[in-house]
Structure 1
């Protein structure tokens, strides 16, 4: 049995270095390829050997004794870890919760909210935004006013967090597994492929995507995931399309996009998928390209009426609904529907609020729009679309303020929302019990 004063093993020091970064036990287990229970045993042994009672105290003692180095942390020799500050939250954890009273106040005071969400350019380390592009800015975490809503009657529930916190990723489902591909993390672009099993509530690792990109989407066709375009590390859109064979865990290239695109909307049916709008090398566009996987070829279709990027597309009754987006100046409420059989566009009812970097999904003859906000709008609720009445209704949200580009995937009767940006890159994994459809009243706990 370990005793106070015993020397830490190399593995315990390695684990203590991760503890000091604030990551969860599950993330430590993933990174070190050990079980969560093993992590817990190591943590208990570390606490015993160095005389700590919390993660914060263990970190302070380890820094003071020279066991680990933590950037920006210096302790004088005469200061022990007595009365440490509040334990830091993991970098991947969602923002702190607001009470319902504060949430109601925020939702009922739009003038005050508008003042709180002033958009500024952060430093490059915070968001990696290239000032030479017209990609919209990210707000720094200090300016972030969103929060996780904790409601005991909520239909949103926590699941195992994604190992790599990120946003602007591609996400899709194949055979009861959810695949999170690429995107942007705090360190820059990531090529990580992480696979979520909702039955066991656990993540596994797939083969990395050969070309790291962000502002990207994926289409699932015949057990393969097609990932067209995306922006590279220089924020330049690309043409490359890479295809992931989920059964063989291998990647291959397919016919490239006719033109470089990122921040596009993607809608897929059983036989084809459509890349709609997005950003080329200089502006937001209205183009539509249809991909035929059998012929491995692209066809240009009728352009969308509204040029925009950061919109989302979902297929319902054979038509593609393109919702929200950003036009370089503001977040849009626009809803336009494309009929591939007629190669024609029509209008649909606009969203209640503008939503850039929104994500959508179709379930039970409804389209759900999740996230957005933070550029020129404020996220106070999600929305559900009823095509029979051509109306949008509020749907509760687990985050308020802003939640940009989460991966949104439907499995069975549930909607999974994974990752995204909300003042920082998130690793959250939230599942929404969508059925039966219920109306959410903003500012109230009544459904």
Structure 2
């Protein structure tokens, strides 16, 4: 795949072991196989960046500190066949368009709940395992100045999950929804929850918040102002994708429903820039006819006007990825390009405002 580098934005612990895993339902590609047959078309706000140095990655987590993007955990192709959960962490320097290695997560995880607060990275549980991925309560904080991970207290018993919507408000990390179990394979259990909680990085305390109106996992999340938004996602499997948008008012401590997404989808990536939340890609069809279909959609939610806008689609459609905003540009490294496990090393950036408005949806 031809790539152009066009955007430049202004050891403490031993390597974590890998864990054998399997592809999701409908997986039709071999590990490392990239079923992309056409050259990606960039432009209209999209630019290709240096690909992930270590190779393809999916179901990972992404966050940013300063001008650096951290890619944490996920699944990678296993030389023996299938996929492995990894604790690997890599760092993308947006100013130099280069990659480097950092201390790995002490416990290998996919679908990890990750956020950056006060110049440090917090991992608050995730999924891991073999034939079935189970929720882990293991939590850690990473200091980029020392390249060291420190173990934190575990996620409260009964609220462990991965694939939650994540937001940050002040010193608190908000987690909404997620899943406790994911059994890859036809008909495998996908145990979605409606749990909502917050972790205070200063006190180290957890707080239970009002539950989501409906359970969600593989969902987008962002805080704009003081409001926590939860967008799309799915409920117990790829055929049950949703277009709903929920907003949590921190003062009244209750959820309200906002304008729905133009396209129902789970496995999306989301990031906020200003007062808008941008959503990318995804997997699944709500009518059950194409549970492993991959979306190219880029759609933006205006939190002030409560309306949606359709934007230029992803040059490389993906699911099982994550997005983060750096200096007004959204970066999206890795993800899967076919239903199930199909990781790639693609690293793209989207710059809002680089194209005219195309369509509004309310």
Normalised by the size of structure 2, how large is the TM-score?
0.80
1:207 to 86, 103, 108: 103
Cα displacement (A) at 1:145: 7.8
1:307 maps to 2:215: yes
- State the superposition RMSD in angstroms: 2.7
Cα displacement (A) at 1:254: 1.2
TM-superposition CA deviations, 1:102-152 (whole Å, max 9, x none): xxxxxxxxxxxxxxxxxxxxxxx9x714xxxxxx62531389987767446
Determine if contact 2:42/2:48 at 8 Å carries over to the other structure. no
Report the Cα distance in structure 2 between the residues aligned to 1:364 and 1:224, rounded to whole angstroms.
22
Structure with higher Rg: it is 1
Q: Give 5+ residue unaligned stretches, structure 2.
A: 6-19, 79-83, 182-188, 286-290
TM-superposition CA deviations, 1:300-345 (whole Å, max 9, x none): 1100101111111011121111001111241111110112232110
Name the structure 2 match of 1:384. 300
Determine if contact 1:373/1:379 at 8 Å carries over to the other structure. yes
1:236 maps to 2:146: no
Name the structure 2 match of 1:184. 75
1:409 maps to 2:324: yes
1:245 to 129, 140, 143: 143
TM-superposition CA deviations, 1:374-413 (whole Å, max 9, x none): 463552421001122211111212246x511222111102
TM-superposition CA deviations, 1:161-212 (whole Å, max 9, x none): 1123111111100121110011111121111110111111100000011000
Q: Alignment partner of 2:193: what SS?
A: strand
**1:378 to 1:167, Cα distance in 2 relative to 1, 3 A:** closer
Determine if contact 1:267/1:315 at 8 Å carries over to the other structure. yes
**1:426 to 1:145, Cα distance in 2 relative to 1, 3 A:** closer
Name the structure 2 match of 1:160. 50
Report the Cα distance in structure 2 between the residues aligned to 1:226 and 1:181, rounded to whole angstroms.
11
Report the Cα distance in structure 2 between the residues aligned to 1:437 and 1:384, rounded to whole angstroms.
13
Alignment of 1:17-166 (within 5 A): 128-129=22-23, 137-141=25-29, 150-151=40-41, 153-164=43-54, 165-166=56-57
Determine if contact 2:35/2:337 at 8 Å carries over to the other structure. no
Report the Cα distance in structure 1 between the residues aligned to 2:355 and 2:42, rounded to whole angstroms.
18
Report the Cα distance in structure 2 between the residues aligned to 1:199 and 1:144, rounded to whole angstroms.
28
Determine if contact 1:325/1:356 at 8 Å carries over to the other structure. yes
Q: Give 5+ residue unaligned stretches, structure 1.
A: 1-21, 27-124, 130-135, 443-447
TM-superposition CA deviations, 1:32-61 (whole Å, max 9, x none): xxxxxxxxxxxxxxxxxxxxxxxxxxxxxx
Cα displacement (A) at 1:372: 0.4
Higher strand proportion (structure 1 or 2): 2
Q: Alignment partner of 2:127: what SS?
A: coil
TM-superposition CA deviations, 1:357-386 (whole Å, max 9, x none): 111111021110111024635524210011
Determine if contact 1:243/1:251 at 8 Å carries over to the other structure. yes
Name the structure 1 match of 2:60. 169
Determine if contact 2:301/2:308 at 8 Å carries over to the other structure. yes
Q: Alignment partner of 2:357: what SS?
A: coil
Q: Alignment partner of 1:367: what SS?
A: strand
Cα displacement (A) at 1:262: 1.1
Q: Alignment partner of 1:229: what SS?
A: strand
Higher helix proportion (structure 1 or 2): 1
Name the structure 2 match of 1:74. none
Higher relative contact order structure (alpha carbons within 8 Å, sequence separation ≥ 6): 2
Report the Cα distance in structure 2 between the residues aligned to 1:412 and 1:148, rounded to whole angstroms.
31
**1:436 to 1:316, Cα distance in 2 relative to 1, 3 A:** farther
Alignment of 1:344-355 (within 5 A): 344-355=254-265
**1:388 to 1:161, Cα distance in 2 relative to 1, 3 A:** same
Cα displacement (A) at 1:441: 6.2
Determine if contact 1:170/1:182 at 8 Å carries over to the other structure. yes
Q: Alignment partner of 1:157: what SS?
A: strand
**1:184 to 1:152, Cα distance in 2 relative to 1, 3 A:** closer
Aligned length: 314
Cα displacement (A) at 1:240: 0.9
Report the Cα distance in structure 2 between the residues aligned to 1:159 and 1:183, rounded to whole angstroms.
20
1:334 maps to 2:244: yes
Determine if contact 2:273/2:325 at 8 Å carries over to the other structure. yes
Determine if contact 1:149/1:398 at 8 Å carries over to the other structure. no
Report the Cα distance in structure 2 between the residues aligned to 1:154 and 1:436, rounded to whole angstroms.
6
Determine if contact 2:268/2:282 at 8 Å carries over to the other structure. yes
